[in-house]
Amino acid sequence: MELHLQRRYYESGTNGILSHNGKALCYTIELPWRNNIRMESCIPEGKFKLVFRYSKRHKLHLMLQSVPGRTLILIHKANDAAKELKGCIAPVSTLEAPGKGTASAKAFKKLMGLVFKLSTLEKPIWLLVDKLPDYYSL
């Protein structure tokens, strides 16, 4: 099972669209690309296994495994990448500006519902991260 995150990079943040089987689920926000610098940059493009994780701060959320040079890359709720993310990915319902969105809790709930459903199939769930084609606008 695979989710696909296609991103557009801007100087002040990274915006993306998250889909499954060609159907859009939500948008995403991240920090801008800054050469994979921990706590300052979005992660590099690649394919990563998703697993469930629990913490007091974020409750139940998702974590990407085997991100080169990085640890604890999470998918959790946030509406402003610069203020609320340290290299993680946040689902949002609408995009407002690079690295900014709205209604993250709503988008997160939708994403988690799908991931729960996919996890019952007992197959790994992967996240493919790449660049959004230039002809597609966000």
Q: How far is CA 72 from the centre of its chain?
A: 13
Residue 135 is predicted with a pLDDT of 78
Spans in the chain with pLDDT lower than 50: none
Q: State the sign of the Cα–Cα–Cα–Cα dihedral 65, 71, 76, 79.
A: negative
In this prediction the pTM is 0.95
Q: Which residue has the tokens 């209604």?
A: 103
Residue 107 is predicted with a pLDDT of 98
Residue 134 is predicted with a pLDDT of 84
Residue 36 is predicted with a pLDDT of 97
Residue 105 is predicted with a pLDDT of 98
Residue 22 is predicted with a pLDDT of 93
DSSP lists the bridge partners of residue 110 as none
Distance set, CA 7 to CA 53, 93, 98, 109, 120 (Å): 24, 15, 11, 21, 28
Residue 11 is predicted with a pLDDT of 96
DSSP element (H, E) containing 115: helix 104-119
